[in-house]
Amino acid sequence: MSGKTTVFNALTGAGAKVEISGGFKVTANMASIPVPDDRLDYLAGLYKPKSVVPAKVNMVDVAGLVTEGKRELDERYISYLKNTDALAVVLKYFTAGIEDGLHPEEDFRRIVEEFILSDLSVVENRLKKLKKGRDTKETDFLLRCKECLEGEKPLNSISFSLEETNFVRGFAFLSAKPVFVILNIDESSDRDKVEAVLRGFRDAGIEAVSMYGKLEMDIMEVEEKERKEYLEEFGIGELGKDKVLRAAYNTLNLISFFTAGEKEVRAWEVKRGATAVEAAGRIHTDMERGFIKAKVVSFSDLKVCGSMGEAKKRGLVRMEGRDYIVKDGDIVEIFFNV
Ligand SMILES: Nc1nc2c(ncn2[C@@H]2O[C@H](COP(=O)(O)OP(=O)(O)OP(=O)(O)O)[C@@H](O)[C@H]2O)c(=O)[nH]1
Ligand SMILES: [Mg+2]
C-alpha cells in the first residue's frame, strides 16, 4: 500500500478504484498515457494534418507484492509484469495516516528482494527440470543467474550476451527489468528530505522522481483548463505525469522521432541508437523490408527555417541510408519498395 493505484490514476486519469487490497490480488489496471511533446504541437501547426498522434506509454497497475511465505508469485500476476519493458516502483512518502515512519530505501530493497526471490525460484525449478549433468547453454545461463541471485543481486546488475538476453526475455525475470522509482509524496512531505531521498536513488544509478499522487489524482477529475489553477494553488511546479514519462523514457533509453504530412503528424518512440531501417520497422514492417532511403531533417533545423521548403533550400534536408542512427527529434520520411 504505497499509493500505486492512486499514482496510476494521476498518470492516466483512468479512475481505477483506490482501495487497500489487503495484500495479494491478481487483477490489474491498464491504460496508456499520450506523451506530451511541444515539437509535435509545432509540427501540427505547420502541417495542419487531419490527425495528430502522440507517442504512447502503456501503464499497468498491480497490487503490492506481498508473498509472505508464498515464495512463488501467482502465474496470472506474473503475466501482467512479464510483458512490461520496465518496472516503476511506487514508494510511500506521504505522511498522512502513517504511524511507523517513512523508510523508502528499505521499502525499495524489500521489493527488489521479492523480485530476486521470485526469479530464483523460477531458476531453481527450471534447473531441476533440465536433465542433470547435461551441459547446455541454458544450464550455464541459469547457473550464472543463480549465482547472482543467491548473492542477493538483481539480474539487471549483470550484463548478458545477446543469446542470454533471449533467455532473459523468455523467462521474463523481474529483477532483470530496468527499474525506476516514483516517490509518492503529499503536501506535508519535507521538500529537502524528498530531494535527499531522490538524490540517494540517483547516486545509486536509479532514476527517481517525486509526485503528489493523491493531489494529482484529484486534479485529473477537474476540467483540463482549471487544472493549472489548482497546480499553482498547491505549488506543484511540474506535473508528476511529465516527470514519470521522462523517467520512463530515460530508463528505457527511448527517443522520439516524427513523421509529418498533410494526413498525419505523428511521434514514434524508438530505442536510442536505432538505425533508419529499424525506425522504419517501427512504422510498418513493409517499410523495413523494402527500405530504400530516409529523408531526414532535425526538428531544430526545421523550426529555424519555418518550413520544409526553406529547410530544403538551405540544404538541411538530408538523404540517409539504412544504417543512419536516428536522433531524438528527427523528422523522417521513409522511401521504400515492396
Ligand atoms: N494522504 C495521502 N494518501 C494517499 C496518497 N496516495 C495514496 N493514499 C492513500 O493510501 C490508500 C491506498 O492507496 P492505493 O493507491 O490504493 O494503494 P496501492 O499501492 O495501490 O495499494 P495495493 O494495490 O493494495 O498494493 C488510499 O486510502 C489512498 O487514499 C497520497 O499521496 N497522500
Ligand atoms: Mg492498488
Q: Do 258 and 39 contact (CB within 8 A), yes or no?
A: yes
69, 218: one domain: yes
Summary mean pLDDT of the chain: 90
Q: What are phi and psi of 9, to 5 degrees?
A: -65, -40
Compute the half-sphere exposure of residue 262: CA atoms within 13 Å on the CB side of its CA.
0
**Number of domains making up the chain:** 2
Written as one letter, the residue type at 10 is A
- Any domain includes 264: no
183, 301: one domain: no
33, 166: one domain: yes
Written as one letter, the residue type at 271 is K
19, 99: one domain: yes
Q: Would the pLDDT of 215 be above 50?
A: yes
Domain of residue 284: give its range.
273-336
Q: Which of 215, 250, 285 is the last residue of a domain?
A: 250
155, 205: one domain: yes
Minimal-distance CA residue to ligand 1 atom 5: 214
CATH number assigned to the domain comprising residue 46: 3.40.50.300
C-beta 240 within 6 A of ligand 1: no
- Any domain includes 64: yes
Average pLDDT (38-55) is 96
Q: Which of 199, 219, 250 is the last residue of a domain?
A: 250
User: Quick one: pLDDT band at residue 63, thresholds 50, 70, 90?
Assistant: confident
Report pLDDT digits (tens) over 244-260: 999 999 999 999 999 99
Q: Would the pLDDT of 332 be above 80?
A: yes
C-beta 162 within 6 A of ligand 1: no
State pTM to two decimals. 0.88
- Any domain includes 260: no
- Any domain includes 146: yes
User: Quick one: pLDDT band at residue 26, thresholds 50, 70, 90?
Assistant: low
Where in 133-227 does DSSP place strands (E)? Answer: 179-185, 208-211
179, 316: one domain: no
244, 314: one domain: no
- Any domain includes 117: yes
- Any domain includes 265: no
Q: What is the chain's Cα-based Rg? A: 23
CATH number assigned to the domain comprising residue 293: 3.10.20.30
Which ligand is the nearest neighbour of the Cα of 7? 1
Cell of 312: 530544403
192, 280: one domain: no
Report pLDDT digits (tens) over 151-160: 999 999 999 9
236, 282: one domain: no
- Any domain includes 312: yes
226, 284: one domain: no
Q: Would the pLDDT of 313 be above 90?
A: yes
Q: Would the pLDDT of 238 be above 90?
A: no
Q: What's the 7 CA to ligand 1 centre distance in angstroms?
A: 8
Where in the chain does DSSP place strands (E)? Answer: 29-34, 51-53, 56-61, 87-93, 179-185, 208-211, 254-260, 264-271, 291-298, 318-320, 330-336
241, 280: one domain: no
C-beta 186 within 6 A of ligand 1: yes
- Any domain includes 261: no
196, 325: one domain: no
C-beta 4 within 6 A of ligand 1: yes
Q: Residues whose CB is under 5 A from ligand 2 (ion)?
A: 4-5
Residue in 111, 123, 130 with CA at minimum distance from that of residue 172? 123
Cα distances (angstroms) measured from residue 208 to each of 181, 228, 237, 271: 5, 24, 17, 20
pLDDT of residue 71: 46
Q: Would the pLDDT of 23 be above 60?
A: no
